[in-house]
Amino acid sequence: MQLRSSRVGLAATIATSFATFFSSGPARSDDQVRAAVTYFAEPAPNTSLNVVHPQVTYQQDFGEHFGLGVGYDADVVSGATPQVFGVDAVTAATKFNDVRHNGTLGLRFLTEYATLRVGGGFAGESDYRSGTANAGVTVDLFERNSQLAVDYTHNFDRVCDANNGVAQELLELRPLDSSDTCFDGGSDLTTTRKLAIDSMQLSWTQVTTPWLVLQFGATGSVLRGFQANPYRQVLLGERAVQERLPGGRNRLALYARTKFAIKPIRGAIELDVRGYLDSWSMRALTTELAWDQYIARPIVIRVRARWHVQDSALFYRDGNEYAASGPVGSFWTGDRELSALFNSTYGVKASYLIRAKEKQFLRFIDSFVISAKADMLLYRSLTKNPEFSPNADRTKGLIDAVVVQAQAGFDF
């Protein structure tokens, strides 16, 4: 249940993931199997959050013109969260556990200068179901020095919500107490709300010199439907009311990226910049800097830093302001992602590639790859009263959160 906002936010990145999954590396030598486990921890005395995220993918081309990809991932989530935004988080925290499963299937059709991708997926958890359909094309242009990619994704999402049919006014909206009767047509306690998401990404990659590659593009998405966390309540005056967000949201992200090769030392620098705005008056700017370096031929070390700053949504208020003065208009939220904040990430990753020299391993494997990475995430609230911002209890340590990932796989 606590991944509610993640489900919505992630949808805008699905087009990217889809393109990533099916277009990395040379077209006719990327038959591969990969498996990874990611552990995310956001420690706090009373409202900690832990997520284990296993992933498996299989990708293979059959003949010259056809490729297949299958993927599975899951989120195993546990932790505690404040029941009401605006009330002391320590005393009001409630524990939760949930598991989300996600499966994807993709096909690709190859020609000499273009790749067409189609696919889809389904994700389910106790209170949220999501179906996706994707289509995209990548075309090589100008002696293969330019690459144009266009990807479109549509989400058919269904969200479990409390049945508030008897509420006479907005201040009577009650939260969802439990997912036990979700998607059960015979229950009067819950109802199903819809969310439709259309996302499109346009990307241009340009080989500029033998040592410089550029990429720039845009991602736009339109969300229509229920986007709030049905469990979350906000204290308005003396009354705790279910979170309420607008039904529509239009989002736009513009980005530019560059890869700069440092051939003499077999290294590469990447610099990414992204600007973002949406119809909820949110603006954000994200910058990332990464360095990949061969230590020895089979070992690559990467270090990276990422900085993200954003403004708050038009209707966001700190908890004490909602409690003292009420909302702005008819929307209210306790979502940290909608508050003004500054996030930074610092990480290191090591990869080890073992290639078969004369004979293939087990007669069909060309290479093995293993990698491990660790990121530390820092958070700083930029609101007027950070002690009354969402999840303030999780942000009192030196390091706000950590991400650790281990991965293994082989190419064949």
CB of 281 to other proteins, least distance (A): 7
Interaction residues for other proteins, span 181-210 (CB under 8 A): 199, 201, 203, 205-210
Among 118, 170, 171, 328, binds other proteins (CB under 8 A): 328
CB of 191 to other proteins, least distance (A): 25
Strand 341-355 relative to strand 299-310, pairing: antiparallel
Cβ atoms of residues 130 and 227 within 8 Å: no
* 26: exposed, middle or buried (Cβ count in 10 Å: 0-12, 13-18, 19+): exposed
Q: In what order do the strands lie in the sheet containing 84-85?
A: 84-85, 233-236, 239-242
CB of 326 to other proteins, least distance (A): 8
Among 90, 99, 114, 189, binds other proteins (CB under 8 A): 114
CA dihedral (169, 174, 176, 177) in degrees, to 10, reads -160
Interaction residues for other proteins, span 34-53 (CB under 8 A): 34, 36, 38, 40, 53
Type of residue found at 83: Q
Interaction residues for other proteins, span 363-382 (CB under 8 A): 371, 373, 377, 379, 382
Residue (166 or 296) nearer to other proteins, CB: 296
CB of 189 to other proteins, least distance (A): 27
User: Rounded distance, CA 104 to CA 18, Å?
Assistant: 9
Backbone φ and ψ of 210, nearest 5°: -65, -5
Among 33, 135, 314, 356, binds other proteins (CB under 8 A): 314
* 186: exposed, middle or buried (Cβ count in 10 Å: 0-12, 13-18, 19+): exposed
User: Does residue 224 touch other proteins according to CB under 8 A?
Assistant: no
Among 149, 159, 160, 195, binds other proteins (CB under 8 A): 149
Residue (300 or 392) nearer to other proteins, CB: 300
User: Does residue 145 touch other proteins according to CB under 8 A?
Assistant: yes
Of 29, 36, 16, the closest CA to residue 407 belongs to 36
CB atoms < 10 A from the CB of 233, how many? 24
Q: What angle do CA 96, 401, 84 make, to 5 degrees?
A: 40
Residue (128 or 190) nearer to other proteins, CB: 128
User: Does residue 129 touch other proteins according to CB under 8 A?
Assistant: no
The token pair that represents 125 in the structure block: 């958890």
Q: Tell me how far CA of residue 207 lies from CA of 20, 142, 144, 385, in angstroms.
A: 18, 10, 8, 47
Binding segment for other proteins (CB under 8 A), chosen from 186-194, 229-237, 239-247, 333-341, is: 333-341
Q: What is the CA radius of gyration of the chain?
A: 23
User: Does residue 392 touch other proteins according to CB under 8 A?
Assistant: no
Binding segment for other proteins (CB under 8 A), chosen from 19-27, 90-98, 123-131, 356-364, is: 19-27
Residue (87 or 200) nearer to other proteins, CB: 200
User: Rounded distance, CA 199 to CA 206, Å?
Assistant: 23
Helical H runs in 280-377? 319-325
CB of 304 to other proteins, least distance (A): 10
Interaction residues for other proteins, span 226-285 (CB under 8 A): 251-259, 261, 263, 267-268, 270-276, 278, 281-282, 284-285
CB of 171 to other proteins, least distance (A): 16
- Secondary structure of residue 408 in the 3-state scheme: strand
User: Rounded distance, CA 97 to CA 282, Å?
Assistant: 30
Residue (37 or 87) nearer to other proteins, CB: 37
User: Rounded distance, CA 227 to CA 63, Å?
Assistant: 43
Among 16, 48, 134, 155, binds other proteins (CB under 8 A): 16
Residue (224 or 308) nearer to other proteins, CB: 308
Residue (190 or 245) nearer to other proteins, CB: 245
Residue (241 or 300) nearer to other proteins, CB: 300
Place of tokens 């919505």: 8
CB of 187 to other proteins, least distance (A): 29
Of 182, 246, 207, the closest CA to residue 8 belongs to 246
Residue (28 or 180) nearer to other proteins, CB: 28
Among 46, 78, 178, 215, binds other proteins (CB under 8 A): 215
Cβ atoms of residues 172 and 187 within 8 Å: no
User: Does residue 308 touch other proteins according to CB under 8 A?
Assistant: yes
User: Does residue 70 touch other proteins according to CB under 8 A?
Assistant: no
The token pair that represents 145 in the structure block: 């020095």
